[in-house]
C-alpha cells in the first residue's frame, strides 16, 4: 500500500502555479516605474513650460496634473507592451480614484500633505484592484 508524502502534496506551489503571480508582480512594478517616468518627464516638462500648479495653494489640482502625468506614462508603457485599451484605461483610471478625497481638503478636514499621502496609498490599492480584476490578461 503506497502512501503519498504530505510534504509533496501540500508543499510549496509548483513553478507553473507561481509563474502567473510573478507576472502580476512584475506588471505591478512596471506600472509603478512607468508612473514615476511619466511624473518625472511630463511633470518636468510642465515645470519647464511654467504650467505647474502650486501644491500648497491647490493640492487637488496639483494631484490631478500629477495623476495625468502618471496615467500617460502608464498608458504609453501598456500600449507598448500590447495591452488592450480596456485594461489600459482601467489602470489609468486608478490614478484618479483618490480625487474623491479632494472635498476633504476643501473642507479643511484633511491637510494637503495628508491628502497626498492618502491619495498615493489609495492609488496603489486601486491599481492592485485593477490588476487582480484582470489577472488573466496579465498572465500572458
The Cα 121–Cα 138 span in angstroms is 22
- Express each pLDDT in 32-47 by its tens digit: 999 999 999 999 999 9
The Cα 2–Cα 4 span in angstroms is 7
The Cα 117–Cα 134 span in angstroms is 26
| pLDDT at site 95 | 95
Q: What is the pTM of this model?
A: 0.80
| Residues 139, 23 contacting (CB under 8 angstroms) | yes
Q: pLDDT-derived band of residue 50, with 50, 70 and 90 as boundaries?
A: very high
Of 113, 97, 96, 95, the closest CA to residue 105 belongs to 113
Q: Is the pLDDT of residue 13 over 60?
A: no
| pLDDT at site 117 | 96
Q: How many Cβ atoms sit within 10 Å of the Cβ of residue 47?
A: 10
- Express each pLDDT in 59-89 by its tens digit: 999 999 999 999 999 999 999 999 999 999 9
The Cα 33–Cα 39 span in angstroms is 10
| Residues 137, 87 contacting (CB under 8 angstroms) | yes
The Cα 36–Cα 43 span in angstroms is 10
Of 66, 60, 124, 70, the closest CA to residue 92 belongs to 70
Of 130, 126, 127, 104, the closest CA to residue 115 belongs to 104
- Express each pLDDT in 91-140 by its tens digit: 999 999 999 999 999 999 999 999 999 999 999 999 999 999 888 776 65
Q: Is the pLDDT of residue 11 over 80?
A: no
Amino acid at each position: 500500500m503506497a502512501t503519498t508524502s504530505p510534504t509533496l502534496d501540500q508543499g510549496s506551489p509548483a513553478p507553473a502555479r507561481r509563474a502567473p503571480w510573478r507576472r502580476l508582480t512584475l506588471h505591478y512594478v512596471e506600472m509603478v516605474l512607468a508612473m514615476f517616468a511619466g511624473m518625472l518627464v511630463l511633470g518636468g516638462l510642465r515645470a519647464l513650460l511654467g504650467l505647474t500648479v502650486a501644491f500648497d495653494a491647490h493640492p487637488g489640482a496639483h494631484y490631478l496634473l500629477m495623476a495625468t502625468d502618471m496615467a500617460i506614462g502608464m498608458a504609453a508603457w501598456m500600449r507598448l507592451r500590447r495591452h488592450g485599451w480596456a485594461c489600459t484605461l482601467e489602470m489609468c483610471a486608478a490614478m484618479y480614484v483618490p480625487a474623491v478625497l479632494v472635498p476633504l481638503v476643501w473642507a479643511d478636514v484633511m491637510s494637503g500633505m495628508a491628502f497626498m499621502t492618502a491619495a498615493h496609498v489609495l492609488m496603489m490599492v486601486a491599481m492592485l484592484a485593477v490588476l487582480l480584476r484582470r489577472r488573466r490578461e496579465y498572465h500572458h
